Amino acid sequence: MILPVILSGGSGSRLWPVSREHYPKQFLKLNSETLTLLQEAIQRTETIPQCLSPLLVCNEQHRFLVAEQLQQLGVAPFRILLEPEGRNTAPALTLAALAALEIDDELQLLVMPADHVIERVDAFVEAVEQGRALVDGGHLVTFGITPHSPNTGYGYIRKGETLDSGYRVDAFVEKPDRDRAQQYLESGDYLWNSGIFLFSAKQYLSEIAQHAPQILECCDAAFAQRQEDLDFMRIGAKAFADCPSDSIDYAVMEHTRHAAVVPMDPGWNDIGAWDAIHALSSNTKDDAGNATQGDVLLHDVKDSFLRSDSRLIAAVGVQDLIVVETDDAVLVAHRDHVQDTKQIVNILKAQHRSEGHVHKCVYRPWGHYRTMVISDGFQVKEIVVNPGQTLSLQMHYHRAEHWVVVQGTAKVTQGQGHGDSDSGQLKSFLLSEDESTYISLGTVHRLENPGVIPLRLIEVQTGRYLGEDDIVRFNDVYGRVADQTATEGQNA
C-alpha cells in the first residue's frame, strides 16, 4: 500500500503579493477556478491504485487552513502532522515514516509538495507504478521531469545506469547558469528535479539512520512526545527544535547507494513565480501573448501577465511585464526578474511591515476578517463567522469594540466571568440584522453564529493599542488557549 505524504510547509514568497507567509500559495486557486493547489494534490492521490488517505505535514499556523480544505473535498486524512517550526524535508519525512510504521511496516511513502501543478494525471500515475517496481527492488525513487527548456530555476538529476523501469541516479546537480542548462538539455542525460519521491518507510528510516543519525535521534524524541487532537498530531517542540535542518536530497539521496530516478512528462510545474502562471495560461492568452485575471484593460500590450483582485488595472504600451494587484499591495516586475520578488518580501519583513506575511483578509477556523480602515486610535473590520462556528471566550486589555450585525444572527456572551465556574456572571443574548452591542475594555466576551447562513458584522475597535496580540483567551473550541504568544495576525 502507498501512503501519500503531502508537504504543505512552503511560504511561496516569489508569488507575493497574493501568496504570503500566513496564507501561502498552496492554499490558493492558481491553476483552477474551483480547487486550490493543495486540493489538486489531494485529489491526485485518489487516482493511484492501493493508496491510503493522505498524511499532510504543515506548520501550526496553517493547521486549520489544511483541515478546512480537506473538509471541502470530503476527505478524511490519515493524519495532519504539525511541525512546531520548519526544519526542511528530511526531518518532515522522518516523522512521516515513523507515523507510517505504527500502521504497517510495509508501507511505501509517496512524497509530494502541495504546491505543484500536474496537468496529465494519468502520466503521473503511470510513473508512480514504474516507481513501485523499483521500490520493491530496494531502491529509493525520485521522479525526474523531462526538460523542455534550459531552465535555470530547477536543480537537475543526471541519469546513470539503466534499470528495469528507470535509471540509477548518477548525480544531483545544483541550479545551473543558462549555458550549462542548455548543455544539459542538449545532452539528453539530465532531468529536472521535481522533489517528488517514493520509497519504503522502513528503508528510508534505515538510510536516515546511516547518513543523518542526528535527524533520526531528534525526530524519534519529538515523535515519542506526540499528542493527538482529532486529526492533528503535535510533536515535541523542544526535541524537534534541536533537529538539524536539511533536505532529503542532501541528507539521504546524495549519499545512498540505492537512489533511482523515473523520468516522467506529466505537464509538471512547480509554480515557482508569476512567469509560471503566465506560461500555464497558454489556453487563455490573447493574440499578443497576454494573460489576464480580474478587472484588466489593455491597449498595445504584449507578452504580459496582469492580475487584479480588487480594482481596475489599465495598461498601455508595455511589454513583458508582470502586474499583480491585491487590496493592499501592487507588484510590477519584468518577466525576466520575477524570481527576485522574494527580495521584496525580505525587505518587508526587515521593516516589520504586515504586507510581508498577512493579507487584509485573514482566515480563521471560524471564518475570516478583513481590515477595512486603520488609523490612530481606531480600526474598522468586517467579520464573517461561518454557520455553527464560535470564537474564543476572550478579553482585551487595550481596546473596546462596537459590533453591528449586517447579516445573519449573532449570539453574544459577555460579562466578568472567564470559565465554567463563573458562568453565572456571563450573560448571553441574540442580535439580529441592524442591531449592535458594545464590548468595553476588559470585558470578557464571545461571538457565535447559531444560524444557518454566514454571520457578517462590522467591528469598530477603539483604543491606544489595536494589535492582534492584545488578547487573553479563557476557552476555545479550537484548542488555541495556549497560543497567547502568537505573532501578529494569528490571535483573533
pLDDT over 60 (residue 488): no
pLDDT given for residue 229 in this prediction: 81
Higher pLDDT, residue 362 or 51 = 51
Q: DSSP assignment of 76-116, as one string?
A: --SEEEEESS---HHHHHHHHHHHHHTT-TTPEEEEEETT-
Average pLDDT for 384-404: 95
How many Cα neighbours within 13 Å face the side chain of 228?
Answer: 8
pLDDT over 50 (residue 471): yes
The yes or no reply on domain 2-269 and CATH 3.90.190.10 is: no
d(CA 401, CA 446): 12
State the sign of the Cα–Cα–Cα–Cα dihedral 224, 230, 231, 234: negative
Say what the pTM is.
0.87
**Helices and strands in the chain: count of H runs, count of E runs:** 11, 30
Single out the residue of 309, 306, 398 nearest to residue 359, CA to CA: 309
pLDDT over 80 (residue 485): no
pLDDT given for residue 484 in this prediction: 45
Q: List the chain domain ranges.
A: 2-269, 274-341, 360-475
pLDDT given for residue 435 in this prediction: 97
Cell of 204: 528510508
d(CA 198, CA 91): 16
d(CA 167, CA 183): 20
Residue indicated by cell numbers 484548542: 479
pLDDT given for residue 486 in this prediction: 38
> pLDDT tens across 82-102, in order?
999 889 999 999 999 999 999
pLDDT over 90 (residue 185): yes
For 360-475, CATH number out of 3.30.1380.10, 2.60.120.10, 3.40.50.720, 3.40.640.10 equals: 2.60.120.10
Instruction: Work out the mean pLDDT of the chain and round it to a whole number.
Output: 92
* Element containing residue 207 per DSSP (H, E): helix 201-211
Q: 424 pLDDT band (50/70/90 cuts)?
A: low
pLDDT over 90 (residue 423): no
d(CA 197, CA 353): 37
pLDDT over 60 (residue 107): yes
Q: What is the DSSP letter of 417?
A: -
d(CA 233, CA 57): 10
State the sign of the Cα–Cα–Cα–Cα dihedral 328, 333, 339, 345: negative
**Residue 290: is it exposed, middle or buried by C-beta count within 10 angstroms (0-12/13-18/19+)?**
buried
Other beta carbons less than 10 A from residue 157's beta carbon: 28
Single out the residue of 102, 100, 101, 55 nearest to residue 81, CA to CA: 55
d(CA 82, CA 368): 22
pLDDT over 70 (residue 162): yes
The backbone torsions φ and ψ at residue 140, rounded to the nearest 5 degrees and listed phi first, read -100, 120
Torsion of the alpha carbons at 389, 395, 399 and 400, rounded to the nearest 10: 70
pLDDT over 70 (residue 490): no
Residue indicated by cell numbers 525513487: 141
How many Cα neighbours within 13 Å face the side chain of 143?
Answer: 26
How many Cα neighbours within 13 Å face the side chain of 174?
Answer: 2
Q: How far is CA 70 from CA 8, 36, 225, 297, in A?
A: 13, 11, 26, 36
